[in-house]
Amino acid sequence: MQWAYLTRSKRFTLPLSIAKTFRTACTPRPAHDRIYMKKPKKNKNAGLNEAEIEVGYLYFTTANQYRAVLAMKGEFLIYAPSSEGLEPLAADAGKLPFENSPWKKCAIVTFAKKDYQAFTFNGENAIKHQLNAAQIAEATAQCNAKSAIAALLAE
């Protein structure tokens, strides 16, 4: 059995099985059906608050990237990023993972929007960890950010 479909220019003959599918797909649905067909919203992690970001702290993103905030002034900050996909630092790790990573400058808002996770550093589990003066100096030297920090603070 076949069903004829007529357009302005041509007449198509379709098998009945395809015609039924075509008719149900082309008929408009009632308004109450459209409510249930909406896509559910994804739950996004809120990231950090802008006030939670401080100089001298180490953060760990959900992409397994360490970020050490080296300097902040106004709406901008300079940080040392590690490469993504790193394993969490061991308790006896002597060096920070910023070797040959270029420093980055971004807005504090942009830095805060990234999703962060808690990690263990120096025997403590938290989202951010305080770095001592030697660790900050090491991170600054590893990513060669001394002149960038001076330029940001001079602005």
8 Å CB contact between 58 and 128: yes
Tens digit of pLDDT for each residue in 93-151? 678 899 889 999 999 999 999 999 998 888 888 999 999 999 999 999 999 999 999 99
Extents of the domains making up the chain: 2-36, 54-154
Distance CA 100, CA 63 (A): 19
Q: How many helices (H) and strands (E) does the chain have?
A: 5, 9
CA distances from 5 to 12, 19, 21, 68, 127 (A): 5, 8, 13, 66, 63
Tens digit of pLDDT for each residue in 7-39? 555 555 556 566 555 555 555 555 555 555 555
Q: How far is CA 143 from the centre of its chain?
A: 22
> How do strand 104-107 and strand 124-126 relate by DSSP bridges?
unpaired
Tens digit of pLDDT for each residue in 40-86? 555 455 578 889 999 999 999 999 999 999 999 999 999 999 999 88
Residue that the structure tokens 């739950």 belong to = 43
Distance CA 118, CA 47 (A): 12
Of 124, 138, 119, the C-alpha closest to 70 is 138
